[in-house]
Structures are given as structure tokens and as C-alpha cells.
Amino acid sequence: MIVMKFGGTSVEDAVAIRRLVSIVRRQSHRQPVVVVSAMGKTTNGLLECGRMAAAGDIQSAQNRLDEIAAHHFKTVDQLARPEEIESLREALGKRFIAIRATLEEIDKNGQVTPRLSDAISANGELLSSLVVAAAFRADGMNGVWVDVRPMMRTNDDFTRAAVQFDIANPKLKEGFTAALAGGGAPVTQGFIGSTSDGVTTTIGRGGSDYSASIIGAAIDAEEIQIWTDVDGIMTTDPRIAPDAAKVKTISFAEASELAYFGAKVLHPSTLLPAMAKDIPARVCNSRRPEADGTAIVRHAPPSRALGKAIAFKRGITVINVASARMLMAHGFLSRLFAVFDKHETSIDMLATSEVSVSMTLDDTRHLDAIVADLQSLGEVSVERDQALICLVGENLKFTPGVAARIFSSIEQINVSMISHGASAINVSFIVDGAAVENAVRALHREFFSELDEETFEAPALAQAVG
């Protein structure tokens, strides 16, 4: 068994879905479970409808929903067997009726609560999976639509629900084993789940990758494939460095660091379930299925390259806390961390001195409350619109001169925080948000101008899509 996850650009229209069907057919002997995202920009469109309704413009919300519905109906007409079109239109229509009811509830309440946000945004995957399953049947495969929600049990932390693995894993294994019986080609949804009461939840934006990994681990898949619109994991974002190369093979640890620190190809949590079961993953390009993609394995082959890739996050906020009470005192950091625990906010980077602590956040929903609580510990200052840059590679920590090469390559750019040594495989630092592109390009020139051909595929061959 394998899990094949297809992102939004891989299911955006009838042409893309036909490519998907062809890709799956070629691997049908491996008993694929297909996990899909919403079509194209559907999730963004649905959430836009919610915001319009909350602002009191229900008519504009309904009009925008009509556009989304028309695209789905058109795609069904182009893909489905003639005898199925009417029933599929009816199934899609029921979903749009439910969305309209939710928009009316939002209009009445004047706000999009987290529960209502999930009730709207979850429909993108429910709609696209119906269409893809129908496309399989039209191509002669036994496309079986599987509603993942009763199996993917979560808590009720809407918009970022946590999966309850002790309940979800056996349900997923049982459900997909049954769907595969008799040659079925199951098509299901990423991104969504449900509470014990059956209320629909989502596990966060980008969570379709994570869903695929969870399903793969639950069914003991031999491989998890992430199909997107790039050839694999690149040395950095090719929109910033056009000479970015594809990484042929990368370790779980390296790929996880890249995802966490901003690489867009994978969701940060994607690899955790796969790592736990030692299931290899592969990032592939649905527009160039003949390309090998990037293999993600527990232990990558030895490489002469110091670094594998550069990731970055924009929109970082730095909080600085200065207090003479830190000097020669114990327990200060535990009180500081208790503030972030209270507000359920994680810290990306941390740097300390004798009398000050600096921390970076990318989740600022509770920033004002955090700052208010931290003021009881010392003087607090906040720096906004910063960027975190991270160079990742398994050869970094034990190679002399790496730090000198990094910071000499960006000597004209101010660096406000550095983290080196906390992880054996990454060096991270903070720069002003306006300087991030220049810094990434300079760093890429320093470390990737000469490529180890065993590790990388040059961009002329990779043909990366931005």
C-alpha cells in the first residue's frame, strides 16, 4: 500500500485531474490511497465568503460561492461518466446548500467563529474528493469516495485541531483496508477531521500533507508520496534564487527542519508520523511525473555538500525581555516560559545573556496578552516584520569555518539573533524582513554555486516551478 497526496494545483481543473488519474493508474498495482486538497484556491475562496458574510455583505458572499460552485460543476461535466453527472451534481449541490446555511449563520452572528470557519473551509476537500473519485471511475478504475472525518478523530480546537491518535489510528487502518478490498481505489480528504461529537474540524492550513502522513503511518504504507507543482525539495525558493537546484535525497531530520523553518513544499508536521514508522516519503511534480522527485529517508547517503537547503520565514516577531533579576538567579526562565504556555504560543528561536532574553514568534494572535504578562518580569520590547533564515545540512555542526562563511557572505546585512549549536543540522539567524531576499541570495551563492552531483540536480535539469 502507498499513500499519494495531491495538492491544490494538482486538482485545480479537469486537465490537472486527468494528469492525476494517469499518475495513479501507473501505480495502481501498489494499492494507492489517494488524499486530495481542495481544488486550486477553493479554500481561500470559501474563507473569503465567510469574511464577506461576517461583514454583513451576504449577497457578495453568495455570489462568490456561486463562482466556486460553477467551477466544480463544470469540472464534473468534463470528467464524469455521463450516467453519473446528474447524481454528482446533486451531491455537490447538497454541499453548497450546507455552505450557504453556514454563511447565513455567520451573517446572523456577525463573526466567523473558529467552529464556523472549519465548517466552511472543510468543504473544499469534500468537494474535490467527490470529483476525483468520479474521474477514476470514468477512467475505468474503482474510485471509492471515503469520508475521512469519522476516522480522523481530533479534539475541538477548531482551525488547528490535534489528532487523537489512539482513536484515529485503528479507525483509519480499518476504514482504508476495507476501501482497498476488492481492488478499490479510495479517494479521501486531507486537512479535515471531526470531534467525538461528529463536529467537523480542520488540522491547520497545509494540513493535507500531515493527513497523508497520518494515514500512511496508520495503514503501514510502504511509501508516502506528496505530489505538488515543483520537482522536489529545492536548495531554496527558486523565485528568489533562480539557480536553485533539486535535492535528490534528504534525511527526515533535514526535511523536518526545512519545513518547520519555512520551506513551502511540506507542512511542518508532515513527517512526524512517517518518521515514527520509518516510512520513506517522496516529493514529486504532478506536471512532470517522469522526474524522480526528492526522496526523504531516515538516513540520507553521505554527501560532500555542507548544506542541503536554505529555508526562511517572513513576518517574524522578536520579543526582548531585559531584567537585572536574571543575574545569578534561578527560576527566571521557567516563569518566562510559563507565560507562553499560558497563551499556548510556541517559540521558534531563543537567545539569552546574563540579563536579557530574546525570543522569536510567528504566531502573534496572543501577542498583546503575552507582552502584558512579561512586563511583570522585566522591560519588554517588540520588533516586528523580521525574517528567520535557516541553513540546513547534516555536515554543518562539525565542519570548521561554517559560521565564518555564513556571516561573511552577508556582511552588509545586519543580523540581530543567531542560533548555532542547539541543533546539529541547522544554523539560524534573524534579519530585517526587507533584507531577507538579499540575504538568501548571498547565502545561496556561497554554499550552492558548486554542486555535488550525487546530492543535487542542477536547475537546467530540474526545471523547477516556483
Asked, for residue 257, whether it belongs to a domain, the answer is no
- The pLDDT > 70 percentage for the chain reads 97
pLDDT at 110 > cutoff 60: yes
Q: What does the pLDDT read at residue 211?
A: 96
Q: What does the pLDDT read at residue 422?
A: 64
Confidence of residue 287 (pLDDT cuts 50, 70, 90): very high
Asked, for residue 293, whether it belongs to a domain, the answer is no
Q: What does the pLDDT read at residue 328?
A: 64
The DSSP H or E segment spanning 25 is: helix 14-26
Please tell me whether residues 178 and 321 are part of one structural domain. no
Q: What does the pLDDT read at residue 464?
A: 39
Please tell me whether residues 187 and 313 are part of one structural domain. no
**Average pLDDT of every residue of the chain:** 92
pLDDT at 457 > cutoff 80: yes
Asked, for residue 179, whether it belongs to a domain, the answer is yes
Confidence of residue 198 (pLDDT cuts 50, 70, 90): very high
Q: List the domain range (segments joined by +) for residue 223.
A: 2-228
CB atoms within 10 A of CB 29: 7
Give tens-digit pLDDT for 295-353: 999 999 988 888 999 999 999 999 999 988 776 678 888 999 999 999 989 898 998 88
Please tell me whether residues 218 and 324 are part of one structural domain. no
Please tell me whether residues 193 and 63 are part of one structural domain. yes
Q: What does the pLDDT read at residue 235?
A: 95
Asked, for residue 73, whether it belongs to a domain, the answer is yes
Q: What does the pLDDT read at residue 400?
A: 86
Please tell me whether residues 212 and 65 are part of one structural domain. yes
Look up residue 397 and give its three cell numbers: 555542526
Distance (Å, whole) CA 48 – CA 52: 6
DSSP symbol at 307: -
pLDDT at 192 > cutoff 70: yes
Asked, for residue 182, whether it belongs to a domain, the answer is yes
Highest mean pLDDT among 160-169, 262-271, 417-426: 160-169
pLDDT at 466 > cutoff 70: no
Instruction: Look up the CATH number of the domain holding residue 333.
Output: 3.30.2130.10
Confidence of residue 259 (pLDDT cuts 50, 70, 90): confident
User: In the listed set 194, 212, 228, which residue is the last one of a domain according to the structure?
Assistant: 228
Confidence of residue 462 (pLDDT cuts 50, 70, 90): very low
Q: What does the pLDDT read at residue 264?
A: 74
pLDDT at 215 > cutoff 60: yes
Residue 58: alpha-carbon gap to chain centroid: 31
Asked, for residue 269, whether it belongs to a domain, the answer is no
Look up residue 97 and give its three cell numbers: 446548500
Please tell me whether residues 222 and 362 are part of one structural domain. no
User: In the listed set 228, 258, 291, which residue is the last one of a domain according to the structure?
Assistant: 228
Please tell me whether residues 223 and 344 are part of one structural domain. no
Burial call 311-330: b when 16+ CB within 10 Å, e when fewer: bbbeebbbbbbebeebeeee
Asked, for residue 246, whether it belongs to a domain, the answer is no
Q: What does the pLDDT read at residue 463?
A: 46
Asked if residues 162 and 155 have their Cβ atoms less than 8 Å apart, the reply is yes
Look up residue 154 and give its three cell numbers: 481530533
User: In the listed set 205, 228, 251, which residue is the last one of a domain according to the structure?
Assistant: 228
Distance (Å, whole) CA 177 – CA 180: 5
Span 77-90, average pLDDT: 97
Please tell me whether residues 64 and 195 are part of one structural domain. yes
Asked if residues 184 and 240 have their Cβ atoms less than 8 Å apart, the reply is no
Please tell me whether residues 221 and 363 are part of one structural domain. no
Please tell me whether residues 84 and 203 are part of one structural domain. yes
Number of independent structural domains in the chain: 2
More confident of the two residues 231 and 170: 170
Instruction: Look up the CATH number of the domain holding residue 110.
Output: 3.40.1160.10
Asked, for residue 236, whether it belongs to a domain, the answer is no
Look up residue 456 and give its three cell numbers: 543535487
Distance (Å, whole) CA 146 – CA 127: 12
Give tens-digit pLDDT for 395-436: 887 788 888 999 999 999 999 899 876 677 889 999 999 999
Please tell me whether residues 216 and 329 are part of one structural domain. no
pLDDT at 81 > cutoff 60: yes
Span 79-84, average pLDDT: 96
Please tell me whether residues 224 and 331 are part of one structural domain. no
